[in-house]
Amino acid sequence: MIFRRKKNQEDDDYEDEDDLLDDEFDDEEEEELETVLFQGATEGREVDLSENQALVRAALMPVKELISDAIDRRCERLVIEPRKGGSIVRLDIDGVGYAGDRYPVKQALGVTQMIKVLAGLDSKVRSKPQSGGIKAEFMGVPYRLRVESVPTQFGAERVIVKVRNMKERLDSASQLGITDELRQEIRKLTNQNRGIFLVCGPPGAGVTRTLHGSILCVDLYLTTVFNLQPSLATEEVPGLSNYDWQSEMSFAENIVRAQRKEADGVLVDPIESEEQAKQYFKNCDKMTFFTEMKAPNAAMAIERLVKLVGDPKLVADKLLGVLCPRLIRKLRDDIKEAYRPNPKLVAQLGLPPETNILYRPPSPIINDDDEEEEPQYEGLPYEGRTAVYEMIEINDAIRKLILSGADAKQIAQAAKAQGMPTHQQGAMGLVAHGITSLEEVRRAFKS
């Protein structure tokens, strides 16, 4: 057992990284906490700590404290960012960044190199990116820590640690906020045994998890979907069938081989290049391809696909639909505050006219000196996230727009006019049901 600094997450709201170097830690209360247990590197890599004894003595305990604190605060992504005079730590919690510890140069070097060693990376290599992972356990729960190291202009390395709770298994699409209606629509589009179903979104929008959830919308008792992503463990998506990728074969030959094994669909790597996009669209005649790409919204993804493939007719014919998630934080039920909204605001936002109560985070308490007091609750007023979705089905009307060279704005307007799901509809539904606040919706979509 160790003693860890207890932080108020709201006070540590992460806004300007450079300002953090000028601030001092407030007085902090000590509390006892069990530390994380590191259980070796992932991907079968060997870790021999005896070769790094000096590093272990200096940095293993600070790394344990850092990772324990991050997991305890429900951090999904931790970044150690080099700055002049040291490094700062950023903790991403439910998609929002908060300030963590700060390290002077020497300690920052020790912490980053210790994390690299634990992940099976080469601590002597600092001039090129590396990636690996750590198996860990905290409070009896197994975790996987995905580690990336990237050289920076300061001569030090940025280290990114992505935290995954291995007990949070994705068993159904409903866990992701996918409604029965949307699930049926995805199933209808993807049961044709041909074409491409695409999930898109900006970084941090839950795109990969939504892609896996889309596969769970398929009737996996009657449909076989093979995993053609070498980096993905098949068991991570229930119902996904394993495929023995033949590296000596071309992509097209592997697709034919999967087809001979009676595949109805395949999960393939994200679209990241022109060559990849063309390859997918030319080989999806006899099975459904499930894939993803980076794009701010569904209409923009369609526009980008046309540019990558270079053939609007091919995209219009083979693309089935595009699903785009956006993640929104959920208000804590134990502290959320009810209020009566202005009827004009209700109408303006498109909320049901009978909406007479909405919810928001607790209002700050102002003392007699007109100063804001500390909140009467621990942690943040939000806990956990859910998703809202927009989806564009490639029907005859959208197909004609693609063939005519329409841009993303025209495609989005046509999809909305046809009543296809939009982010706004989903977000307002969450607000109306008291799941989130208007303030959170504005924050989530301000970009």
Cα–Cα distance between 51 and 70 in angstroms, integer? Answer: 27
Residue 78 neighbours by CB under 8 Å, 6+ apart: 66, 67, 70, 89, 90, 91, 92, 100, 160, 161, 162, 163
Amino acid residing at 283:
N
Q: Is 396 exposed, middle or buried (0-12, 13-18, 19+ CB in 10 A)?
A: exposed
First to last CA, the chain: 42
Cα–Cα distance between 47 and 49 in angstroms, integer? Answer: 6
pLDDT in tens, the chain (447 residues): 343 444 444 444 444 434 433 443 344 444 556 899 999 999 889 898 988 999 999 999 999 999 999 999 999 999 999 998 899 999 999 999 999 999 999 999 999 999 999 999 999 999 999 999 999 999 999 999 999 999 998 778 999 999 999 998 888 999 999 999 999 999 999 998 999 999 999 988 999 999 999 999 998 888 999 999 877 877 778 888 989 888 899 989 999 999 999 999 999 999 999 999 999 999 999 999 999 999 999 999 999 999 999 999 999 999 999 999 999 999 999 999 999 999 999 999 888 888 999 999 998 877 767 777 777 788 889 999 999 999 999 999 999 999 999 999 999 999 999 999 999 999 999 999 999 999 999 999 885
Answering whether pTM is above 0.85, one says no
Q: Are 425 and 352 in contact (CB under 8 A)?
A: no
Residues forming beta bridges with residue 366, ordered by sequence position? 372
Go through the domains of the chain in sequence order and give each one's CATH number.
Answer: 2-165 (3.30.450.90), 173-329+382-445 (3.40.50.300)
| Torsion of the alpha carbons at 95, 97, 102 and 106, rounded to the nearest 10 | 50
